[in-house]
Amino acid sequence: MRTFHNILVTGGAGFIGSNFIRYVFTKTSFAGRMVNFDKLTYAGNPHSLADIASAYGERYHFVRGDIAESTQVAAALRDHEVDAIIHFAAESHVDRSIHGPGDFIRTNILGTFTLLQAARELWGDRKDVLFHHVSTDEVYGSLGDTGKFLETTAYDPRSPYSASKASSDHLVQAWHHTYGLPITMSNCSNNYGPYHFPEKLIPLMINNLLTGKTLPVYGDGKNVRDWLYVEDHANAIWAIVTKGSIGETYNVGGENEWQNIQLLEVLIETVARLAGRNLADLRNLITYVKDRPGHDRRYAINCHKLKTELGWAPSVTFEQGIEKTVQWYLDNQAWVAQVTSGDYRKWVDANYARR
Ligand code: NAD
Ligand code: TYD
């Protein structure tokens, strides 16, 4: 099992990165330091790790920085004697990538290139180091009614988001094959859980149900996604980082496919039960809207390799995960109000000014 002293997590103030940092500190035997390197875009919230910052003191350190800025990246890697990079930072929302692809090209492609170069420069030929790249199943394109994505499935990205992630995946592989950089990669299906900015399907719908807003269903509502509880993505990444074979890609997924409209019914039923709302009133909020351009029909992951080679299995069922998630949003309406307020963004900029 590989061990590290100082891990730099990029994008650790975002949804999956913050859950990953909390998971490693609270549920693994990791004894070193974690440096959270994050630009704090709209999706990055320093408050999401306030509990970890106060509980783990010097072992958790936050740096506000941009992965596409080479001097900022090089300084963080050098100053903290980093021996592993776990790379989450990205622009991650498909609808935003359709509206404004430029940030996706800059952060996801140029940012990954910048990190890879900085890692090479710092580490040289060292083999006791690791660059883990967190990616998505969306790089494989769209499936018909049958079949699942394997690690060997040909890349066929279709949105500006998935094309930028596919490009970053290729760069990571190239730096391994060409320069010998020790890498691992994971391509995961859709995540859900706490601390998810309310713009993606599950947190948006929960938030709209709790606040009585309409529920916008794209197209016919029959697009299929394979959902995984975020902590199970975190423990998969930890398994790959500590035990995965160098140079290998592992697919991660919930084996848990839902049509959007069926998933919405589960959310409506769970919110009605946990928040004491009227089922019929909640169902009335469903509104079919214009489809997303280029909307991928179906994603589904085959994660046999991760299960058999690394012994990974999800820790919660979908029913448990959805219940925990809805309860978390019920208990944390203040977090949602905070991260969506303009005042909060001003506070972030004032309190986390770049040095
Ligand atoms: P997110 O949008 O919630 O968080 C992204 C984080 O990256 C934010 O904290 C943001 O401030 C930071 N960031 C953005 N640009 C940056 C830059 N230039 N420099 C430094 N930090 C920057 O994203 P997420 O949902 O947590 O996704 C994390 C990673 O996992 C991404 O690489 C994404 O492609 C991948 N992924 C996500 C899902 C999913 O369902 N959300 C599924 C599979 C893979
Ligand atoms: P999303 O959470 O954006 O993830 P993905 O990266 O897989 O597109 O969307 C999940 C599915 O839900 C996708 O088929 C688009 C659909 N969707 C809606 O129908 N309404 C919405 O408001 C959103 C955000 C997504």
- Residue whose C-alpha is closest to residue 285's, from 208, 200, 222, 223: 208
- Residue whose C-alpha is closest to residue 136's, from 90, 83, 200: 90
Q: How many other CB atoms sit within 10 Å of the CB of residue 295?
A: 15
Mean pLDDT, residues 283-310 taken together: 98
The ligand with the least distance to the CA atom of 297 is: 2
- 313 alpha carbon to ligand 2 midpoint, in Å? 25
Nearest CA to ligand 2 atom 12: 201
Query: Which CATH number is 6-191+229-253+300-316's, of 3.40.50.2300, 3.40.50.720, 1.10.3720.10, 3.50.50.60?
Result: 3.40.50.720
Q: Percent of the chain scored above 90 by pLDDT?
A: 96
Amino acid 55: pLDDT: 98
CA distance 125 to 23: 30
Measured CA angle at 267 (ends 265, 268), to 5 deg: 65
pLDDT at 129 over 60: yes
Nearest CA to ligand 1 atom 12: 11
Confidence of residue 354 (pLDDT cuts 50, 70, 90): low
Nearest CA to ligand 2 atom 9: 201
- 200 alpha carbon to ligand 2 midpoint, in Å? 6
- 296 alpha carbon to ligand 2 midpoint, in Å? 10
Q: Cite the DSSP H helix spans in 34-151.
A: 50-56, 70-79, 94-99, 102-104, 112-123
- Residue in the block written with tokens 């498909």: 94
Residues with catalytic roles: 137-138, 161
Cα dihedral 312, 315, 316, 321 sign: negative
- The residue to mutate among 260, 290, 301, having the most atoms of ligand 2 within 8 angstroms of its beta carbon, is 260
- 300 alpha carbon to ligand 1 midpoint, in Å? 21
Confidence of residue 342 (pLDDT cuts 50, 70, 90): confident
Confidence of residue 331 (pLDDT cuts 50, 70, 90): very high
C-beta of residue 343 within 8 angstroms of C-beta of residue 54: no
The ligand with the least distance to the CA atom of 237 is: 1
- For the chain, the domains span 6-191+229-253+300-316
The contacts of residue 272 (CB under 8 Å, 6+ apart) are: 278, 279, 282
Average pLDDT, whole number, for the chain?
A: 97
Amino acid 347: pLDDT: 84
Amino acid 228: pLDDT: 98
- The residue to mutate among 41, 91, 232, 249, having the most atoms of ligand 1 within 8 angstroms of its beta carbon, is 41
pLDDT at 337 over 90: yes
Ligand 1 atom closest to the Cα of residue 13 is: 9
Amino acid 351: pLDDT: 84
Number of H helices and E strands in the chain, helices first, is 15, 12
Confidence of residue 19 (pLDDT cuts 50, 70, 90): very high
Nearest CA to ligand 2 atom 17: 201
The ligand with the least distance to the CA atom of 260 is: 2
**Phi, psi for residue 105 in degrees, rounded to 5:** -65, -45
pLDDT at 355 over 70: no
pLDDT at 174 over 90: yes
CA distance 205 to 59: 36
- 38 alpha carbon to ligand 1 midpoint, in Å? 10
The ligand with the least distance to the CA atom of 293 is: 2
CA distance 236 to 334: 30
Q: Which residues line ligand 1 (CB under 6 A)?
A: 10-11, 13-17, 38-41, 43-44, 66-68, 88-92, 107, 111, 134, 136, 165, 188, 190-191, 197
Q: Which residues line ligand 2 (CB under 6 A)?
A: 94, 190, 200-201, 204, 216-218, 223, 225, 260, 292
Ligand 2 atom closest to the Cα of residue 296 is: 14
- 221 alpha carbon to ligand 2 midpoint, in Å? 10
CA distance 140 to 96: 20
Nearest CA to ligand 2 atom 3: 200
- Residue in the block written with tokens 């994603």: 299
CA distance 206 to 194: 11
CA distance 225 to 254: 10
- 109 alpha carbon to ligand 2 midpoint, in Å? 23
